[in-house]
Structure 1
């Protein structure tokens, strides 16, 4: 955190607390009421104890006996004050805890909703570990001061009452209080300003450590096969070492200031006793008043620390809030329209009209990389169109545009003649589905992975989708069938099984437009042909679906009604597979190269659908 920011951390931190109070005013009022009640009873207890000592204890010592009525009154008063203090503590802690955890839960939901609203281009520019940290530790840090906040507010009220009582008792003792309390506050301010940059750096390093750990776990296959375990360990150790040093710096500063914050109230108590003894000899105060003031300083030592707790957490709160607000204030969302497609089971049409697209750069001042330029084509209802082209020609980008994971910079993408930007979210999801290049399986049952708890998808629909995806056979052979847990990322399944399961997930929603981004690359070619043939004729019992498929295998390409050949983000040719083979040399060379790679035993691995499951967290991509 910059030095300018550290200087105003107190003001910014109080602004974050103000936001919390405005969002949860009723709960905060309950917590503060309990804290004020507790504070008032602490001040009252000091003077009751003083009167008990002066009116009951001292006379009893002088006479050698104590009156039963006086003792009963004293005990009743002390017991009543204790009960009220317990009530105050209960209200304060219950309200503060409820307020803190409610804010944390609410902002975790806000951050998560914002993640879902922001386009993929924004996610590409932010590390997964950072996003996890934003939704977890940063939200937690932002609202950490809420727990002691009501106590601190009640303590301020208590301090006002205590100082007023001191002036009412004796001006000399009041001056001692006026010297101690501002000094304690100034010490806390100095502490928070020095702590701010340390807490900000520690919070940033927490996110970086989380990001490196996530990369290492997610890329375990690459790390192991390339023999980079030691390098990844060193990279992680370097960043965790920096985090350790940052936290030690925080602890060192806390170790310097905490004893000072603890000692100052005790020094105040000592000063009160010295000054009070002098004033007692002068006859300015009596024993009861001296005991009351000394007891007041003694019991105030702990509550006053609540102010220090709030101020000590403000730097971390500001750092966490800055990171959370960066997500909440991020721009680039893709708002949905209000139009819905007509309810029908007939296959949909897909039209690209002069579509241009460029990915946003990682740094705003750099130009974006042009991926597509003036791409136009149509997928007629019920037909299968294959996208073919060399690596980097824009095939996966077209697949993402078709289901509106991203929006074009120029031109339009239409389903049944309606611009996808004008459709509601549920209408788009109900009519179009994408099966991505890399399958993702949730750590859940087969049933849950296919249905995703969508309404209307019962076991019959699930089995129908599995049959169409040629997955019903291996699912039926699993120990618990649809109830089989597949592990994180489907670790108990082979690559081809995972692909067929994600295909069944898309088919279960009965889409009218199905986009396959090389979604059957790990499946045996004969199984793939059966899947595509089934998709052409039926989508889980319906009249079929229009299919846009990113294809590499010659057998897959040959099944398409039309082939669109891309080069450098532009449509170079279109027609049937046989026509393009005969008329487009670049297409013929590419498809021939694909075919040779498939049959060459030295350049292709064993079919992924037949290999044993990989260890947890490892993926095979092709």
Structure 2
């Protein structure tokens, strides 16, 4: 590596190492050693190869000096050829060992990335829903990308670099001192001029890079939010495109200015250090040449010293910033371990068992619940706040009790934020209760395996989510082994068969991000088709027809009536006309069940249900806005808060839902 390359390398590594300097613990080192244990054999071989390569790098300048001496002294040609051949053999060996070391380095580093990414991805999937409602997605993805790669560098670059550089530096100094300790001392006297600017310029460059990274992150966030389909729609409807562009360009100009300053800092630093290295070589040639003319040094020794000098500054500079590089790598490890140390709130108990076959009842027994506080489910660094809120969550449910017998349908109605969606989320164990119990067929869901609960329950929300994938892939989430006929049957029952068949790619049509290539009604019907394909024993519908027009709603209601036949159902209802035939209607207000009964009984009682009913029907408007029911972003925790259109409901085994009264608008 020449002096200019050494200067660039030193500046880059020092700057990056100084970007994040934090203390670390011995426990982190133990965990790193544990992560490296599966690769220990390859790691030892890698370090040995690094040492051997460092030795060969020092031998070559010495042999070059002997070639010069042989030429000057008039040695026989075979002697010169032998030395040249030996240099060639060493070069070939160095190249071969370098390739092998690189393969080992890549295998260790990529293996570590695979292990850490797999561990983090698996762990994040087991985190509660509250974790995802608080965490910035970009910050979480950064842990899987940037920090995992930073941790990998500890093995592939830093560790081997430290080992190789220590050996190279030690051997180089020993050999140079053996040739001429005076020249060696003079060469070392210039080291501070080479190393200290790297540290100072590196710190300055790190500050510029950090500022640029902050601006780039802000621009990325702005682009991600504005370039998504709902974000772009919001900007076009209510935003100010000119101000958005101006804000973006302000940050972009700052990044440009930082880029210019960074380029000048780098160029000045590299030019200065290249000049210093040239002066060091001139010193060696001058002092060594005078000594050679005076007979105190052989000419070949001067050449060897000059070549060895080029091998001296690179490891010296690298080792000067080695501590910072190690610290930077350790910080990356700590950021990865920080994610892995988050305790999932929902875990299988020891001995968790599957739910027995057959019809399933759903029971809430004195259930009270509050959403967990931030410090229990998140990290300040993932939310990009100084400190997490440690206050306990506000109680959302208070001693809720009811029972849905096998095959029955229970409807939940009430004001927005009353806790209806929270009740629905406790059944599939998206959260655990604080008090009381949720039971399936008399078994506490906490005593059931998560796989069994997932296989038993099917849920459709008012904002059914689709992945940026094909229709086929989105359906197969419900049943990975489903055949072609089963997929088309589910689409037929969801009244989507004709639409999908008309698409050029059919089932392989990509639906776009969150399914935005489809209309709202089509997206919702596709999520219902996914439910039909899953064939759950318990169905939960949370405003399942919120985005459907009158025609689509009627078609989907027929499909859902078929899907609900013989199954236990919990339906969050907004338009009361759709739940009049429910076996049990629960009126939820402020996290409590204030009324329960059938439609007829509740109307006769003249309570809250009667008020809701009259609000919708006395004015002839059942338009999905009568009681303002939604997901309840503030208290139900789903974050949607949309007004909804009617929910399907019906008696077990009914062919279709009961139609709305004549005066009700669809």
TM-score by length of 2: 0.78
Per the alignment, residue 42 of structure 1 pairs with 57
Per the alignment, residue 340 of structure 1 pairs with 353
Per the alignment, residue 412 of structure 1 pairs with 437
Per the alignment, residue 520 of structure 2 pairs with 495
The Cα shift of 1:388 comes to 0.8
> How do 1:176-325 residues align onto structure 2 when only pairs under 5 Å count?
176-180=186-190, 188=198, 206-218=216-228, 219-237=231-249, 254-255=266-267, 257-259=269-271, 262-301=274-313, 307=319, 317=329, 320-321=332-333, 323-325=335-337
1:169 to 176, 179, 185: 179
Per the alignment, residue 101 of structure 2 pairs with 92
Contact 1:34 1:87 in 2 (8 A): no
2:599 to 577, 592, 595: 577
The Cα shift of 1:178 comes to 4.3
Gaps of 5+ in 1: 61-65, 538-543, 605-619
Q: Distance in 2 between matches of 1:513 and 1:245?
A: 60
Per the alignment, residue 357 of structure 1 pairs with 369
CA 1:410/1:86 → structure 2, altered by over 3 Å: closer, same or farther?
same
Deviations 1:273-307 (A, max 9, x none): 33323433453322222221111113445565655
Per the alignment, residue 104 of structure 1 pairs with 113
The Cα shift of 1:101 comes to 3.3
Per the alignment, residue 663 of structure 2 pairs with none
Q: Distance in 2 between matches of 1:8 and 1:467?
A: 56
Q: Distance in 1 between matches of 2:294 and 2:265?
A: 44
Deviations 1:3-36 (A, max 9, x none): xx97993975999899767614344334433332
Secondary structure, in 3 states, of the residue corresponding to 1:441?
coil
Q: Distance in 2 between matches of 1:279 and 1:106?
A: 58
Deviates more, 1:45-54 or 1:453-462: 453-462
Deviations 1:547-589 (A, max 9, x none): 1111112332124221111001111111112222232432233
Per the alignment, residue 129 of structure 2 pairs with 120
Per the alignment, residue 342 of structure 2 pairs with 330
CA 1:152/1:175 → structure 2, altered by over 3 Å: closer, same or farther?
same
Q: Does 1:531 align with 2:559?
A: yes
Per the alignment, residue 546 of structure 1 pairs with 568
Per the alignment, residue 73 of structure 2 pairs with 59
Secondary structure, in 3 states, of the residue corresponding to 1:9?
coil
The Cα shift of 1:515 comes to 1.2
The Cα shift of 1:493 comes to 1.8
Deviates more, 1:293-302 or 1:318-327: 318-327
Contact 1:152 1:307 in 2 (8 A): yes
CA 1:15/1:326 → structure 2, altered by over 3 Å: closer, same or farther?
closer
Per the alignment, residue 632 of structure 2 pairs with none
Contact 2:19 2:207 in 1 (8 A): no
Deviations 1:249-273 (A, max 9, x none): 7666655554455555444333333
Per the alignment, residue 7 of structure 2 pairs with none
Per the alignment, residue 393 of structure 2 pairs with 368
Per the alignment, residue 504 of structure 1 pairs with 529
Q: Distance in 2 between matches of 1:369 and 1:198?
A: 43
Contact 1:9 1:192 in 2 (8 A): no
Q: Distance in 2 between matches of 1:602 and 1:117?
A: 35
CA 1:394/1:252 → structure 2, altered by over 3 Å: closer, same or farther?
farther
CA RMSD of aligned residues (A): 3.7
TM-score by length of 1: 0.83
Per the alignment, residue 636 of structure 2 pairs with none
Deviates more, 1:203-212 or 1:383-392: 203-212
The Cα shift of 1:452 comes to 2.3
Q: Distance in 2 between matches of 1:437 and 1:251?
A: 52
The Cα shift of 1:195 comes to 5.7
Per the alignment, residue 504 of structure 2 pairs with 479
Q: Distance in 1 between matches of 2:620 and 2:91?
A: 83
CA 1:167/1:130 → structure 2, altered by over 3 Å: closer, same or farther?
same
> How do 1:588-607 residues align onto structure 2 when only pairs under 5 Å count?
588-594=610-616, 599=621
Q: Distance in 2 between matches of 1:184 and 1:598?
A: 85
The Cα shift of 1:425 comes to 2.1
The Cα shift of 1:106 comes to 3.1
Gaps of 5+ in 2: 1-16, 375-387, 627-641, 645-666
